[in-house]
Structure 1
Amino acid sequence: MARAIILMADSLGIGAAPDADKFGDFGANTLAHLLQAYEQDKGQPLALANLSRLGLIDACEAASGASININERQQPQAAWGYAKELSSGKDTPSGHWEMAGVPVLFDWGYFPVEQPCFPQAFIDELIERTGIPGILGNCHASGTTIIAELGEEHVRSGKPICYTSSDSVFQVAAHEQSFGLDKLYEVCEVARTLLDEHNIGRVIARPFVGESSDDFERTGNRRDYSVLPPAPTVLDKLAQAGGEVISIGKIADIYAHQGITQKHKAPGLENLLEKTAQVMAEAPDNSLIFTNLVDFDEKYGHRRNAIGYAEALKTFDDFLPRIFAQMNDDDLLLITADHGCDPTAAGSDHTREYVPVIAYRPGMTPVALGERETFADMGQTVAQWFNLPELDYGTGFKAALER
């Protein structure tokens, strides 16, 4: 039986979605703008032979009308297209869940921009239940910036740093040694329970290390506490049918560990890719291997580091032959994103964009998939690939891959 591999290039949007203006994201284009920034900085275009061979550049040009300049451009040898989001937000859970066949058609709860932004009753209850001496932050902030600003006070006081963003999220940063990982996770678990009534999508533990604001650095021990998807995803259906659903990175956290049969963590882009290749070498038939490449979003998109983003994309491109080499003849490779995070945009938030729809199997005939009405088309295709019952959302394109 077949296998499928999904590489979620977290935040790799390819052009403003039709409703981007409603989100303040008119003109956003994560891929096009990071490539332009790289060429301006380095004096030459980035080389992306493998991603262009999969159709990523063609998909971006079709989605946005942009003219993309890269070195070593190849003709597509895969199925390529672009999808707009049916879900109401531009956040991580919405993008992942919709891609797996369950769009988010309700509105998440969000915290106001005004400071303090968290309800006092919630903070009082959090303090009472966890025994912490109080909190720092209580605002919208960039994670790296607020750690630099408040990290030393946190170490002195024992008060965790709590902040949010334009996403439906409550984030807690704490020092791994002085505060402790177990205590940080406990605070986040209590917060998750308390925030259910506010319809907050995620609580995220953000541990960091270092001696002072000069060298504080977040670690790979991040943990996401998500609410459950509102309906069974294609992951659930495959697991229930006896297949393996193998999570690499933060995938299990995003789906609240529902529909996951194996979990692997790995810190950093190269380690996540290496772990994916290792799992592919061992995964049996009827397996879905699902990897989130978080560095694109966390380290470069949110930090508005276009050059770093481009260099990370090159690392991904260079690794792809390892992925190709591990594929069986009846394997399916999907590459997509959950939203955009244009590193040239103002602020530090996600951007509402089309995402790439790249599908490849060895020996296939190249095909343009065009514009897809929902990310769920990919979940429906995965369901078709494993001969699972049809999902409620999405139009599968398995037939286009078999021509």
Structure 2
Amino acid sequence: MRRFKRIITIVLPSLGIGETADAARFGDQGADTLGHVCDYWQGSLKLPTLTKLGLGNIPRRSPLTGILAVTPLQSHVGKMRSISDDKDSLSTHWELMAAVHQRTLATFPNGFSSQLIKKIEKFSNRQVILNRSASELTAIRLFGQQQLKEGDLIVYTSSDSVLQVSANEMVVSLAELYRICRYIRFVADEDQLNIGRVIACPFIGKSPSNFKLTDKRREFAIDLPAVTALDVLKQHQIPVTGAGQLTDLFSGRGMTRQIHGQKAILTKILKTLETQTFGLIIADLGSLDEDAHARDPYGYGKDLMQLDAWLNAVVQQLTPTDLLLITADHANDPTFKGIGHTREFVPLIAASPNAIGGQLTQSLELADVGATILANFGIDHQLPGKSFLNQIS
């Protein structure tokens, strides 16, 4: 079995590829993130890098509009499903790294309790506004002006197990916003509220027309319930660079280096490829999920094309001893009802220069990614997941 010297794993949150067999249990019949985005763009969605890597070759009920299958196939492709009982980003990211979360995290469709809100107001000495389900962009567009004027805290949630706090950086400093979120994390854990993430979502601008989220977003996650593949890699002294949202989702555990922020993250990852020649580089590129929550298929397609161009730069840096894994942790159809994630398969592309491509098994699960990474570095483990390394060697 061939082992790769370096594995680069790129997670594109929300890039679903069609409903799973259990979609009806979640009310997600008919969801198809990539299919519906391609249909929306009427064949003008140009993804040359992903197309060349075999995105159009992944089995699905109907072909993707404008995304062709390629011959010969140079990568190994397939699709994976989650076995978690929810669609939360926290659970699915953990699952990718072979830690299946059996306890369903709490959600708050009617907002948070008055007791919790009172505690937040007392600690922060600021009033809480909104306190209901909303996308990040909707929250700041509708309530950003009031927050800027009155100094309140915009508190909201989504279909995920999250408590989000937005404030304008001109009114609430980043240090204060992070301190408030750390307090909420403490209270949520002490009161056993089972909130998956407390998220600081700062924004800038002086009016709704130019309000925008910044790259200073921070997530304060509930403690991981189990050992992950990242923990095991660290135990075996395998270098791990984590980039993007997942550094917070794993609370930095198992990572020897972290890359935060969004604005410069793509450039920093390319720089890391130049200097880290061994181990794991794993990056979460979450901009697509923001478009999906806002139900913006135009913005989704635009961002996806920009990421496709960036992926080409990644591919250009690959050597024959590299393995590139491209996938998603969950789906989020921007044309679907509501604002939440959708229960779908996610794509899996495994690429290495000079490889002979093919189809991966049809029964892949998210945890198989973590199991494959551990198998590649010759590490025995008792974590969930089955390695597909022998299929791509």
Q: Could you state the TM-score of these two structures normalised by the residue count of structure 2? A: 0.94
| 1:68 aligned residue (61, 64, 70) | 64
The amino acid of 2:169's aligned partner reads: E
Residue 112 of structure 2, aligned match among 115, 118, 125:
118
Which of 117, 126, 131 is 2:124 aligned to? 131
Indicate which of 173, 187, 191 corresponds to 1:180.
173
Are 2:282 and 1:290 equivalent residues in the alignment? yes
Any idea what SS the aligned residue of 1:363 has? coil
Instruction: Determine helix, strand or coil for the equivalent of 1:214.
Output: coil
Task: For 1:198, give the aligned amino acid.
Answer: L
| 1:93 counterpart residue number | 90
| Cα pair 2:33 2:333 within 8 Å, conserved | yes
Q: Residues 165-224 of structure 1, C-alpha deviation per residue, up to 9 Å, x if partnerless?
A: 111000000111111111110110001111121111001000001112222111110001
Q: Deviations over 1:267-322 (max 9, x none)?
A: 24xx433222111110032x211111111111x21111112212222222222232
Q: Could you tell me which of 25, 29, 32 is aligned with 1:29? A: 32
Deviation at 1:344, TM superposition (A): 0.8
In structure 1, the partner of 2:101 is 104
Q: Is the 8 A contact 1:304 1:345 kept in 2?
A: yes
2: CA distance between counterparts of 1:227 and 1:133? 25
Higher helix share: 1
Which contiguous aligned blocks of 4+ residues in structure 1 show a shift greater than 3 angstroms?
A: none
Match of 1:278, SS state, is helix
* Equivalent position of 2:76 in the other structure: 79
Displacement after TM superposition at 1:391 (Å): 4.0
1:125, distance to aligned residue in structure 2 (A)? 2.1
Residue in structure 1 matched with residue 46 of structure 2 by the alignment: 47
Q: From the superposition, tell whether residues 135 and 156 of structure 1 become closer, same or farther in structure 2 (CA, over 3 Å).
A: same
Aligned partner of residue 315 in structure 1, secondary structure: helix
Gaps of 5+ in 1: none
Is the 1:272–1:291 Cα contact (8 Å) retained in structure 2?
A: no
Which letter does structure 2 place at the counterpart of 1:214? S
User: Given the alignment of the two structures, is residue 311 of structure 1 paired with residue 316 of structure 2, yes or no?
Assistant: no
Closer, same or farther in 2 for the Cα pair 1:84/1:131, shift >3 Å? closer
Whether contact under 8 Å (1:132, 1:158) holds in the other structure is no
| TM superposition shift of 1:338 | 1.1
Contact persistence 1:10–1:297 (CA under 8 A): yes
Deviates more, 1:17-26 or 1:370-379: 370-379
User: Alpha-carbon deviation of 1:91?
Assistant: 1.3
1:4-403 equivalence runs, <5 A: 4-39=7-42, 44-59=43-58, 62=59, 64-70=60-66, 74-75=70-71, 76-111=73-108, 113-114=109-110, 117-128=111-122, 130-196=123-189, 197-268=192-263, 271-285=264-278, 287-298=279-290, 300-402=291-393
CA contact under 8 A between 1:380 and 1:391: conserved in structure 2? no
Structure 1: distance between partners of 2:382 and 2:343 = 25
Q: What count of residue pairs does the alignment treat as equivalent?
A: 387
1:182 corresponds to which letter in structure 2? Answer: A
8 Å contact from structure 1 (residues 376, 393) kept in 2: yes
- Give the C-alpha shift of residue 263 in structure 1: 0.9
Q: Residue 211 of structure 1: SS of its match in structure 2? A: coil
What is the Cα deviation at residue 73 of structure 1?
5.1
- Name the % identity: 34
SS of 2:171's equivalent?
helix
3-state SS of the aligned residue for 1:371? coil
RMSD (Å) for aligned C-alpha atoms: 1.6
In structure 2, distance between residues paired with 1:172 and 1:327: 39
Please give the per-residue CA displacement for 1:310-364, whole angstroms capped at 9, x wherever unaligned. 2222222222232122222211111110111101101211111101111111211
Aligned mates of 2:370, 2:100 — CA distance in 1: 11
SS of equivalent residue, structure 1 residue 136: strand
8 Å Cα contact 1:139-1:162 kept in structure 2: yes
Q: Work out whether residues 57 and 68 of structure 2, in 8 Å CA contact, stay in contact via their aligned partners in 1.
A: no
Output the amino acid matched with 1:219: T
Q: Would you say the 8 A contact 1:234–1:391 is kept in 2?
A: no
For structure 2, the residue ranges without an aligned partner over 5 or more in a row are none
Q: Report the TM-score, using the length of structure 1 for normalisation.
A: 0.92
Which whole-Å deviations, capped at 9, do the CAs of 1:379-400 have from their partners, x for residues lacking one? 1101111112234211101111
Provide the C-alpha distance between the structure 2 equivalents of 1:73 and 1:307, rounded to a whole number of angstroms. 23
Q: Take 1:233 and 1:98, find their aligned partners in 2: how far apart are those partners?
A: 8
Q: Which moved more, 1:322-331 or 1:379-388?
A: 322-331
SS at match of 1:370: coil
- Partners of 2:222 and 2:180 lie apart in 1 by 16
Are the equivalent residues in 1 in contact too, given 2:57–2:69 (CA < 8 A)?
A: no
Distance change in 2, residues 1:32/1:224 (3 Å):
same
User: 1:4 aligns to what SS in structure 2?
Assistant: strand
